[in-house]
Amino acid sequence: MAYWLFGRCRILVHHKKLPLLLGSVLNRTSSSFFSSANYPFKSPKRPHTLPRNNNNNSTSLPFFSRYESTKAEAQLELEHDVSEDDHNQVTDFPGGKVAFTSEMRFISESAQKRVPCYRVLDDNGELVKYSSYVQVSKEMAVKMYSDMATLQTMDGIFYEVQRQGRISFYLTSTGEEAVNIASAAALTPDDVVLPQYREPGVLLWRGFSLQQFAHQCFGNTNDLGKGRQMPIHYGSNEHNYFTISSPIATQLPQAVGAAYSLKMDGKSACVVTYCGDGGSSEGDFHAAMNFAAVMEAPVVFICRNNGWAISTPVEEQFRSDGMVVKGQAYGMWSIRVDGNDALAVYSAVHTAREVAIREKRPILIEALTYRVGHHSTSDDSTKYRPIDEIEHWKMSKNPVNRFRRWVERNGWWNDKDELELRSSIRKQLMHAIQEAEKAHKPPLEDMFNDVYDQLPSNLQEQEKLLRETIEKHPKDYPSDVPL
């Protein structure tokens, strides 16, 4: 029996050499957004095109479908009729037909050329020739720039407030303002956001006020989280913005589950979740990608590749060509976009959202940006990267300046508008900080409520022990927290 099976295997592998499909074929036309896999064994069920209106340009997205499942029991019947001279041998394996080859050839660890990066505006804020993008109105463009400038100013002031010892911690989005605001602008209020910790601009775009940002950072009674989160760990049910969790990448599989629930309910909305390049090295990232692809969940993964996971450079994290190729490995559409180009980010996210909802499938977006600021107020990035590198990205590649030049060329912005905006933001922020500082701290009992309807015995015991400890050592605990 074993000899007979071995003979059958020889018949299967003896055939003419077939070209090995190593990866996706990237459509390099100017109107292409997404890379797609080349599937020689199955034709698409139907064509799929999402037109984009921009100077008569359009964006054609290739249709993606799974490989067909097969009937393994039919395989042996087929093999009896196959001669050793047949040069087109395939196996009808569960998951789809696979061609055989007599050549022992390993798939290369990476392609010869890196996946190109989609962009619309060059470093001077001028439209790239033949660029294809989703049009934005004057009102949309002005709001996008205004929020980018607001986020930039807010980061600068709150960073200084932390350095003065008035709040315990802060983390900026300096250099990544375009990913924040442009991605938020491409969504609708019904879309659910599961952020990491460098996306306050998404919440700003959705209407979270500067006063609310200040309340959260100071952890007072007006903070929606009742002071139970670290500063910058924002959350808002009203704005469909899940509360930030400190552990890296835990939000990713949660986002897929939320997206699958939207799909089950037939909602015309998607989930958008964010992570950094460091997050892609976590197990949760890979579990989420596979979960999303297999379940065909309408979720858009936006991965900020800013070059550094705290102090670890990307070349020490992974050998692959960034994160964009990881989407293809799990069977989903992917695109690499210039994260410092607001128009490119907006166009890619806008299109990805439509595809995710219409086709009920996940999309991966890798945004190449750069973290100009330190990782947080607990970090000094000059210890692990050159100062001139930071200055280069801060001055020459600044996403806020780039988008401002484009808005100004359209006649939608000028120096007077800039002065008035910056002055107004600073005044609002200073007032918000003063108000947040004066507000009372939440009472001690708020550490234990809002989790269970009925407080369980273990939490009752913890609260009792905490109060007893405070009575014994009152000087070791803040006096402004009501007991």
What is the C-alpha separation between 262 and 241, in angstroms, rounded?
15
Number of Cβ atoms within 10 Å of the Cβ of 478: 7
Q: Which residues pair with 93 in a beta bridge?
A: 96
Q: How far is CA 192 from CA 16, 225, 291, in A?
A: 51, 19, 18
What is the C-alpha separation between 467 and 474, in angstroms, rounded?
10
Q: Which residues pair with 308 in a beta bridge?
A: 313
Q: Strands of 35-143 (E only): list them.
A: 90-93, 96-99
Residue 264's Cβ-side half-sphere holds a number of Cα atoms within 13 Å equal to 7
Number of Cβ atoms within 10 Å of the Cβ of 336: 27
* Active-site position among 68, 84, 160, 468: 160
Nearest to 118 by CA among 222, 27, 188, 190: 27
Name residues whose C-beta falls within 8 Å of residue 316's C-beta, 6 or more positions apart in sequence: none
Torsion of CA 144, 149, 153, 159, to 10 degrees: 60
Q: Which amino acid is at 136?
A: V
Q: How far is CA 387 from CA 370, 374, 384, 410, in A?
A: 13, 11, 9, 34
Is 246 one of the annotated active-site residues of the chain? yes
What is the C-alpha separation between 119 and 348, in angstroms, rounded?
9
* Active-site position among 30, 102, 168, 246: 246
Torsion of CA 311, 314, 315, 319, to 10 degrees: 140
* Active-site position among 35, 132, 375, 381: 375
What is the C-alpha separation between 210 and 153, in angstroms, rounded?
11
What is the C-alpha separation between 254 and 146, in angstroms, rounded?
32
Token representation of residue 188: 């609708």
* Active-site position among 31, 65, 245, 376: 376
What is the C-alpha separation between 195 and 273, in angstroms, rounded?
5
Token representation of residue 123: 């470093």
Pick left, alpha or beta for residue 374 (phi over 0 → left; psi -120 to 50 → alpha; otherwise beta): beta
Residue 376's Cβ-side half-sphere holds a number of Cα atoms within 13 Å equal to 14
Is 102 one of the annotated active-site residues of the chain? no
Q: At 471, which helix (H) or strand (E)?
A: helix 457-472
Residue 253 phi, psi dihedral angles, 5° rounding: -65, -30
Cβ–Cβ < 8 Å for 90, 42: no
Q: Which amino acid is at 314?
A: V
Strands 299-305 and 312-313: unpaired
Catalytic residues: 160, 246, 375-376
